[in-house]
Structure 1
Amino acid sequence: IYTEPENLTGVLEFLLLGLPDDPELQPVLTGLFLSMYLVTVLGNLLIILAVGSDSHLHAPMYFFLSNLSLADIGFASTTVPKMLMNIQARSKDISYVECLTQVYFLMMFAGMDNFLLAVMAYDRFMAICHPLHYTVIMNPCLCGRLVLASWFIIFWVSLVHLLLMKSLTFSIGTKIPHFCCELAQVLKMAHSDSLLVNIVLYVATALLGVFPVAGILISYFQIVSSMRISSTEGKYKAFSTCGSHLCVVSLFYGTGLGVYLSSAVTHSSQSSSMASVMYTMVTPMLNPFIYSLRNKDVKGALGRLLSRAASCLLWGTTSELRGCYRSLKQM
């Protein structure tokens, strides 16, 4: 007699099958993913420290950039440490609670990236198309409200999905063809009816995806329209300030589209997982490089921060180190 499997939240475990089982590949994957994760965390932390410590970067664009770096650190930290632990232990287990935690934070940080990219596009639109009113409109109060509203919306949307997921039932040892607990993949493995969760997921994806993308497209349409009547110098300045953001937008949505197409076209779990690695690891890792290499202000702030820190560590005594720390905070 078949009985419906119970949702044993205390003991339920899932199996993540997205990574290859070859023992010879495990040291290579460990070294590769660990190095990528460390570069991601270090690069984004440097961006946050540079923006916070350098008065030249106390502007709306860099305030949003530091929040984007914070979201990227959280995005990578949600999946990579657990994945490295599983590779090192040659295990594929993930507990029910850990899986739900990954689903929640993956949705939250991915959604936050989406919102911040739209807000940064609006900031560039105001700076280029309305330069005389820019400082009045994009004041610190409005910038703070935009970021807080983004965190607030995505917090509750992710929480709603999490609560709906808790009503689903799974069997012990459910196999997920992925390297992490991604919401769409987990829903496919549910034994109970997941229609309501899928409807909410599609509606939330449409609303939270379409509106930010539409905002980005409208902002850049207005920017391009204004560039038609501006001088050559004005066009170059506008392109230089938008170039980094356009690169990050292309990388974020390009890799996201690649994940969707790979999962729709191929049924190979490893191919889909490799596409997801690009989305969850490569994109957060490259964002700091894109902004630091293409932006003279960020590059200069990072140079001053690193040179000051290096001189303090190499030649400073204990009392001098304290003074260096205070001076770094006041840069």
Structure 2
Amino acid sequence: MSSKYISSSVHISGLMLTPRITQENASTVAELVLLGFSSHPQAEIPLFFLFCLVYLVNLSGNTAVIILVIIDSCLQTPMYFFLCHLAFVNIFYTTVVVPKMLFNLLTSRKVISYKFCLVQTYISLFMGAAECMILAVMALDRYVAICYPLRYLLIMNQSACVQLAVGAWIISFLASVVPLYMTIAPFCGPYVIDHIFCEVPVLLHMVCGDTSLQETMMVTGASGTLLLPFLLIILSYLNILVAVMKMNSAEDRKKASSTCTSHLTVVVIYYGTGMFMYMRPKSLYSAEGDKLISLFYAIINPALNPLIYSLRNKEVKRAMRRVRKRWVVSQSQKTPS
């Protein structure tokens, strides 16, 4: 290694993992060791193919949702407008995380540049906050649709939907990226991240000195981006439950419940794992356990979302049949007789 760098090596399972630190400024880390699944080397190749498959399902499923909403006029409603935002978050979030993780599964030198580690941290926090806000807005949409059905399209008009979406993105940015930027602190060695990607709870263990300020900011930010939207979702569904119970027709109750089941499934999976990861003290950190939790909300859940919304949603199934029928008709017209 060039004299320009001061090396600090870490040996794990026979591998030498060497982060780089610039000599001009010892506090500036050029590379960090990203362990991932190094403690289970025999599982890395199977995990590579598994996560490749999950990532492809995520990309194809969420892209299909966006395209389907765009080309089918029957799906151009407030609910599916917000679903497109959720699909975009799922694609962007995993694209920042998964490719680097897949690359490290295949290489013996499992490192990540300091700058890209910060990019992962900022974007994962931003996208996570945005997903919380969008899920809350979707719950609000379901509340208006079920509790005020005759005024639904008047209340949730195009302007209101755009304002809610823009507001969700702006609040997510202000409640996640800005506090993180203001409290980011230098790292201390060893520069080793025992995780699958860079995110705030894990990086707290590398911050020099007292991290009480960073922990307080993380819990405060999590309260704004996790707890408050979750409370809004709970209140929305309590009102929905009361409205459903007042319905005279069993068919109406079944229809109202079916429109909420998919959203509730996503909320329970995402908020359950997210709250455990971000709303707990640093002392409860567990490397192996946190890797599994992060896999759920950063990789597996985004791939499940389009499946949950499409397999349990009759409108999406009908839209898929309409699009497929139009495609078959267009292909038959192109075929020469």
TM-score by length of 2: 0.84
Cα distance in 1 between the residues matched to 2:72 and 2:142: 21
Larger displacement relative to structure 2 (226-235 or 141-150): 226-235
Determine the structure 1 residue equivalent to 2:171: 153
- The 5 Å alignment of 1:1-331 reads 6-8=26-28, 11-166=29-184, 168-171=185-188, 174-231=191-248, 232-257=250-275, 259=277, 268-306=286-324, 308-309=326-327, 316=334
Larger displacement relative to structure 2 (267-276 or 224-233): 267-276
> Which amino acid in 1 is paired with 2:62?
N
1:30-72 Cα offsets, whole Å, 9 max, x none, are 1011110010010000000001110000110010111111111
Inter-CA distance 30–306: structure 2 relative to 1 (3 Å threshold): farther
Determine the structure 1 residue equivalent to 2:17: none
Native 8 Å contact 1:20 1:270 kept in 2: no
DSSP 3-state at the match of 2:150:
coil
Q: CA deviation at 1:254?
A: 2.8
Number of residue pairs matched by the alignment? 311
DSSP 3-state at the match of 2:149:
coil
Cα distance in 1 between the residues matched to 2:162 and 2:280: 37
Q: CA deviation at 1:87?
A: 1.1
Structure with greater contact order relative to length (CA < 8 Å, sep ≥ 6): 1
Cα distance in 2 between the residues matched to 1:21 and 1:226: 52
Q: CA deviation at 1:153?
A: 1.6
Inter-CA distance 249–18: structure 2 relative to 1 (3 Å threshold): same
Native 8 Å contact 1:14 1:173 kept in 2: no
Q: CA deviation at 1:313?
A: 7.3
Cα distance in 2 between the residues matched to 1:178 and 1:258: 16
Determine the structure 1 residue equivalent to 2:21: none
Inter-CA distance 240–268: structure 2 relative to 1 (3 Å threshold): closer
Calculate percent identity across the aligned residue pairs.
37
Q: CA deviation at 1:98?
A: 0.6
Inter-CA distance 298–193: structure 2 relative to 1 (3 Å threshold): same
Q: CA deviation at 1:316?
A: 4.9
> Which amino acid in 2 is paired with 1:51?
V
Native 8 Å contact 2:219 2:280 kept in 1: no
Q: CA deviation at 1:261?
A: 9.6
Larger displacement relative to structure 2 (17-26 or 93-102): 17-26
1:257-286 Cα offsets, whole Å, 9 max, x none, are 565699989765233212211221111111
Determine the structure 2 residue equivalent to 1:324: none
Cα distance in 1 between the residues matched to 2:170 and 2:125: 13
Q: Which runs of 5+ in 1 are unaligned?
A: 321-331
Cα distance in 1 between the residues matched to 2:308 and 2:27: 45
Q: Which runs of 5+ in 2 are unaligned?
A: 1-24
TM-score by length of 1: 0.86
1:94-141 Cα offsets, whole Å, 9 max, x none, are 111011100111011111110111111111111111111111110010
Determine the structure 1 residue equivalent to 2:3: none
DSSP 3-state at the match of 2:207:
coil
1:9-41 Cα offsets, whole Å, 9 max, x none, are xx5221122313444322101101111001001
RMSD: 2.6
> Which amino acid in 2 is paired with 1:189?
M
Larger displacement relative to structure 2 (31-40 or 298-307): 298-307
1:60-86 Cα offsets, whole Å, 9 max, x none, are 001011111111111211210110111
Cα distance in 2 between the residues matched to 1:276 and 1:249: 15
Cα distance in 2 between the residues matched to 1:107 and 1:260: 10
